[in-house]
Amino acid sequence: MSAPAPPPRSASPRRTRPAPAHTPRRRAGLGLPLQAIALGAATGAAAALCYLTMIALQEQLWSRVGEARWMILVVTLSGGALIGWTRLQAPAPGLEAQIAAAQSPEHLRLRQTFWVALGAIIAVGFGGAIGPEAGIVAVAAQLSAVVARRLGRTAAERRALAGAGVSGALAGVYASPAGGPVHAEAEDRLPRPVLFAAGLAGFAAFLAVADGLRPGVLALMQLPRLTAEAGALDALVALLPAAAGALAGGLFLWLRAGTAGLLERSATAPFWRPVAGGAVLGVLGMAAPLVLFSGHSELEEMLRIGAEEGPLRLVLLALAKALACAVCVAAGWLGGVIFPMCFVGGAMGAATLFLLPGIDPVLGVAAGMAAAAAVGMTRPLVAGLVMLFVLGGALAVPVFIGALAGWALLRLLPDPLRTGGHEPGAPARSPGVP
């Protein structure tokens, strides 16, 4: 008789080796910065493509105008009508509102982004006295939203990735790997190291793509590299042009607010506001073609005119440019104001020092540019960082004086002007925000 079979052995659960407790943290720590750097480079490259599109449209349109100044009005009116048509398709928030909205990537919609970007490209191409930032930020924000929704595991990570994308795009268009990140996030809610790494990547990608696809194109958007001998009295000399530039920036804010109020009362339909802006821009452009466009390529010509015709002509050009930019922004020609304000402040700063023989006007140009940009953007820190990278370290003292003068004037202005409330959809913010 055979022995009874042993009772079956109960199956014991299979033991798995536990993952080290530090693995998730290590992946999160490495993953977010690497993703942000890659996204910053991608948005920097996309910004370069968007900028090249704007430049190509400008060249195609304005090469046919020639010396016929009456054609300027035809072009700007046509641009206003096209922008008005895009407004009928979707509302268009201003630059600051776009930057704020980018931090909520789940709310961005592709259809609105398309019409906003198209309207901004038209605004730059048809001669608007504004910079290219708005269209570029619209494209960058949409690209960042797609990536953030796919890769971000938490709301904080999605906000950080979206901010990194905007940081890379702005760093490229500003030619400032520090100014872009600060403008992308001014309230310290996003990790600064991530934003600055993304900004540096976007800056490098912008330069590589733009110059790789069209060698020499960067000269069309970069401000001239000014040089001056540093002196012990630079800070004292810079006070007068800095004050003049800051006042010109304050005038721009006042003109923008007044124009916006006038258009709200007289042109209630969204189509007609850009058309009205195009009409005013065209009249100003026929009188002084230098007031058209962002001001990148017109600074050297403006300074030559000042040297030949005197400071009064510079003051008149500055006032006309401030009015043209104010009308464009108030009428919904989407774009940034830092580069037009550089033109305005540079003209005012040079005008003041042309009155003082023996002093290098470049000091006045640098101080005036920084001051006007600080007030016009209502972001002194961003303006100072952009000017410092663009103009160079030799002009750090007048740039600092200009940014400080802009900050001081902003503290004195009434809330509706300094909080940016007259930009379409702009969020209110305190004057202490950089």
Cβ contact 291:284 at 8 Å: yes
Where residue 111 sits, what CATH number does that domain have? 1.10.3080.10
Residue 11 lies in a domain: no
Containing structural domain, residue 198: 32-220
Within this chain, do residues 318 and 285 fall inside the same structural domain, yes or no? yes
Quickly state the pLDDT bin for 292 (edges 50, 70, 90).
Answer: very high
Residue 291 lies in a domain: yes
pLDDT of residue 81: 96
Say how many residues make up the chain: 434
Residue 18 lies in a domain: no
pLDDT tens per residue, range 110-162: 888 899 889 999 999 999 999 998 889 888 888 888 888 888 888 888 888 88
What does pLDDT average to over the chain?
A: 84
252, amino acid identity: F
Within this chain, do residues 208 and 296 fall inside the same structural domain, yes or no? no
pLDDT tens per residue, range 325-362: 999 999 999 999 999 999 999 999 989 887 777 677 78
Count CB atoms within 10 A of the CB of residue 91: 13
Residue 127 phi, psi dihedral angles, 5° rounding: 95, 15
Within this chain, do residues 198 and 246 fall inside the same structural domain, yes or no? no
pLDDT of residue 19: 46
Residue 13 lies in a domain: no
Residue 3 lies in a domain: no
Q: What percent of the chain has pLDDT over 70?
A: 84
Quickly state the pLDDT bin for 374 (edges 50, 70, 90).
Answer: very high
Within this chain, do residues 240 and 332 fall inside the same structural domain, yes or no? yes
Within this chain, do residues 214 and 269 fall inside the same structural domain, yes or no? no
Within this chain, do residues 122 and 173 fall inside the same structural domain, yes or no? yes
Within this chain, do residues 211 and 239 fall inside the same structural domain, yes or no? no
Alpha-carbon span 223 to 214, nearest angstrom: 18
Between CA 392 and CA 336, with CA 365 as vertex, the angle to 5 degrees is 80
Within this chain, do residues 292 and 196 fall inside the same structural domain, yes or no? no
| pLDDT of 393 higher than 80 | no
Quickly state the pLDDT bin for 230 (edges 50, 70, 90).
Answer: low
Q: How far is CA 225 from CA 65, 202, 228, 266, 390, in A?
A: 29, 21, 10, 43, 7
Within this chain, do residues 46 and 195 fall inside the same structural domain, yes or no? yes
Within this chain, do residues 211 and 253 fall inside the same structural domain, yes or no? no
Within this chain, do residues 303 and 201 fall inside the same structural domain, yes or no? no
- Indicate the number of domains in the chain: 2
The residues, ordered by sequence, that sit 6+ positions from 383 with a Cβ below 8 Å of its Cβ are 179, 338, 341, 370, 373, 374, 377, 403, 406
Alpha-carbon span 208 to 200, nearest angstrom: 12
Within this chain, do residues 156 and 64 fall inside the same structural domain, yes or no? yes
Task: Quote the tokens at residue 208.
Answer: 């590589």
Between CA 408 and CA 416, with CA 410 as vertex, the angle to 5 degrees is 160
Convert 273-331 into a string of H (helix), E (strand) and C (coil).
HHHHHHHHHHHHHHHCHHHCCCCCCCHHHHHHHHHHHCHHHHHHHHHHHHHHHHHHHHC
The pTM assigned to this predicted structure is 0.85
pLDDT of residue 30: 56
Residue 12 lies in a domain: no
Residue 202 lies in a domain: yes
